[in-house]
Amino acid sequence: MTTTRARQWIVTAKPNPTARLRFFCFPYAGGSALTFRRWPEFLPQSVEICAVQLPGRGSRMHEPPFSSISSLIPVLAQVLAQYRDMPMAFFGHSMGGIIAFELARYLRREHDRSVAHLFVSGSRAPQVQFDEPSTFDLPDPEFVEELRALNGTPQEVLEYPELLELMIPLLRADFALCETYQYYPERPLDCPITVLGGLRDRAMTREDLEAWREQTTASFSLRMLPGDHFFIRTAQPLLSQVLAQDLARLI
């Protein structure tokens, strides 16, 4: 039985009492559980989609968002302790990829619990150095220009000052979480890792994605899909096909 606190964090749009695997999905910066609301339509029926709703968005809009990985991961691990009755796999896009990876390592290190499969999307390998200047602490006009360049923030948000004013604190916190992240070496995971990238993603190279191979002793695959950094939205049919195939193998 999951607690009310766990249900705050985990949104299951289509509960599946016959599921044999839970698929926890972590959003990109500024994203929410809504990103994954239609995924039950495309993925195997024996999988239950569990979208992670981080504080500061959706029904949790009035809660302060986390701005560091190190403070978020132990809390997420406590939440997932409520879901021990079946195997689990993780998916994360961009910011969500690093959250999923560090949570998988934390669960192994602190709880002796393994993830069945890790899917990382639009996120460079954590050990790859990223020397770009930080953006989360830029003045508002420059910060908004960075959002425009990334092409991930809806145009209606960028064009309406009231909406933008509501979103900027969340986006700054999410960017801080990514840009202040520090990687510490551990032994590789023993679960398969599937990495997905956008062919027109200017934020990272194929080599940045290929480097995830070092993070597993199990199988590794890299799939490049049409689109920019947010191919997760524009290449949905192909993305769903890749996920469905790998999840079917797990089950």
| Structural domains of the chain in order of their starting residue, each with its CATH number | 4-129+184-250 (3.40.50.1820)
Per-residue DSSP letters for 141-152?
Answer: HHHHHHHHHHT-
Q: Which residue has the higher pLDDT, 227 or 145?
A: 227
Q: Which residues are catalytic?
A: 94
The DSSP letter of residue 189 is B
Per-residue DSSP letters for 53-72?
Answer: --TTSGGGTTSPPP--HHHH
Q: Which residue has the higher pLDDT, 24 or 30?
A: 24
CA angle 237, 8, 169 (to 5 degrees): 80
The DSSP letter of residue 120 is E
What are the tens digits of pLDDT across the range 32-43?
999 999 999 999
Rounded distance, CA 98 to CA 177, Å?
Answer: 10
Q: What is the mean pLDDT of the chain?
A: 89
The mean per-residue pLDDT over the stretch 140-164 comes to 68
Among the listed ranges 62-76, 83-97, 161-175, 221-235, which one has the minimum average pLDDT value? 161-175
Q: Which residue has the higher pLDDT, 157 or 52?
A: 52
Confidence class for position 138, pLDDT limits 50, 70, 90: confident
**Do residues 17 and 28 lie in contact, with contact meaning Cβ atoms separated by under 8 Å?**
no
Does residue 110 carry a pLDDT above 60? Answer: yes
CA-based radius of gyration for the chain: 17
Locus of tokens 């390998």: 125
Provide the β-strand partners of residue 26: 92
Per-residue pLDDT at 202? 86
Locus of tokens 């551990």: 186
**Do residues 46 and 251 lie in contact, with contact meaning Cβ atoms separated by under 8 Å?**
yes
User: Could you tell me where the DSSP H helices lie in the chain?
Assistant: 4-9, 69-80, 95-111, 140-150, 155-159, 161-179, 206-210, 231-234, 236-250
Q: Which residue has the higher pLDDT, 149 or 98?
A: 98
Rounded distance, CA 113 to CA 69, Å?
Answer: 19
Helix%, strand%, coil% for the chain, nearest 5: 45, 15, 40
Please choose, from the candidates 147, 137, 135, the residue with its C-alpha nearest in 3D space to the C-alpha of residue 155: 147
Per-residue pLDDT at 1? 47
Per-residue pLDDT at 197? 96
Rounded distance, CA 210 to CA 128, Å?
Answer: 10
Q: What is the pTM of this model?
A: 0.92
Crossing angle of the two packed helices 69-80 and 95-111, in degrees rounded to 10? 60
